[in-house]
Amino acid sequence: MRLLKSLVWLVVSYECESWTLKSTDEDRIKSFEMKAFRQILRVTWTDKRTNDWVLSKAGTEPFLLQSVKKRKLSYYGHVLWKEGNCMEKEIMQGTTSGQRRRGRPRTRWQDNITKRTGLTGDRLLRSVKDRRQWRKIIHKAANPRIEDG
């Protein structure tokens, strides 16, 4: 079962570093993961089992969305550590020329990074330069604590 689960996650999260995640996409990832757990355990929707029950039966916690977030942040740091000018770096920092379209701005890849880390602009670039600090930021952003009280 463990091998099957890991193969499914590898296929699902292929090239996830380049995804621009909206809240609906995050909900879809969460629901896909629960659906996959239910199919692996052969629990149908008519069995009336909660997600918590399915996760405890599987002996795991949902981790696909956290994995995607962590990989995106790691990739961002990887690209910004490159020396000199490169196309990826310019695109990520939004320094390409041109005009934007009319209407509401689309959610950008960079918007996901700033939302996850809580850092913007210069502070984000400074924290990426210090690898130890960047690893702490990645861990904190990808594994948020949920307090119940």
pLDDT in tens, 34-86: 988 898 889 988 888 998 999 899 888 888 888 888 888 888 888 888 877 77
User: Does pLDDT of 129 surpass 60?
Assistant: yes
Dihedral sign, Cα of residue 66, residue 70, residue 76, residue 79: negative
- pTM metric for this prediction: 0.77
Q: Which helix (H) or strand (E) holds 129?
A: helix 121-129
Q: What is the pLDDT of residue 149?
A: 37
11 touches 50 (CB < 8 A) = no
Q: Express each pLDDT in 73-125 by its tens digit.
A: 888 888 888 877 777 777 777 666 777 778 888 887 888 888 888 888 778 88
